[in-house]
Amino acid sequence: MGMESYELGQSGEDLAASYLTKQGYHIIERNFRSRRGEIDLIAYDCDFLVFIEVKNYSGRSFSSPYVSIDQNKRASLIHAAKTYLLRKKIKNINCRFDALIIFRRQQGLAIVDLYKNAFTL
């Protein structure tokens, strides 16, 4: 299961990255890790630095993807984002957290749902 879900995640992120690029995002980082959390994708969208959380949803999972970015997840994303800004010495730029949800259908088919500014501090 572990390997499978990793691969699923990877392929999801590939899909997300190509989708976002088509939307005009410029991806600069993938799978950035801090001590507390991980950010799937980091990209520029116009003047914004965007931290993107990619969620795969197979349709078999029990909870809805819309609620799965809970307080804990938010806190770890925020921590990771702060770490990123510090490490790269990025200042004076507007940031945003987006969520991208991928609904898997049959082999190869997927529906993508992008939530801009999904949450704030």
Partner 1 sequence: MLVKINSAALLGLEAYEIEIEVDASRGLPGQTIVGLPDAAVKESRDRVKAAIENSGFEFPAGYFTINLAPADTKKEGPLYDLPIALGKLLVAEQITSQKLADHVVLGELSLDGTVRPINGILSICLSMLKTGKRKIIVPKENADEAALVEEIEVIPVTSLRESAEYLGGSREIKPHKVDIDSLFKVQDDFGIDFGDVKGQGHVKRALEVAAAGGHNVLLVGSPGSGKTMLARRLPTIFPPLLLAEALEVTRLYSIVGLLSGKAGLVTRRPMRSPHHTTSDVGIIGGGRIPRPGEVSLAHHGILFLDEFPEFDRKVLEVLRQPLEDGQVTISRAHSSLTYPAQFMLVAAMNPCPCGKLYDRKGACSCSPLQIQSYWKKLSGPLLDRIDIQLEVPRLKQDELMKMPQGESSQVIRERVIKARGTQADRFKGSNIFCNAKMSSRQIRQCCILDSEAQGLLKEAIVHLNLSARAYDKILKVSRTIADLDQAEIITASHIAEATQYRFLDRG
81 binds partner 1 (CB under 8 A): yes
85 binds partner 1 (CB under 8 A): yes
36 binds partner 1 (CB under 8 A): no
71 binds partner 1 (CB under 8 A): no
CB-CB neighbours of 81 under 10 Å: 21
Tell me which residue of 94, 4, 92 sits closest to 56, measured CA to CA: 4
Toward partner 1, which CB reaches closer, 15 or 85? 85
Burial of 52 per CB tally in 10 Å (0-12, 13-18, 19+): buried
Cα 38 to Cα 31: distance, rounded to the nearest angstrom: 6
Residue 94 CB, nearest approach to partner 1 (Å): 4
Which residues are near partner 1 by CB under 8 A?
Answer: 48, 78, 81-82, 85, 91-97, 117, 120-121
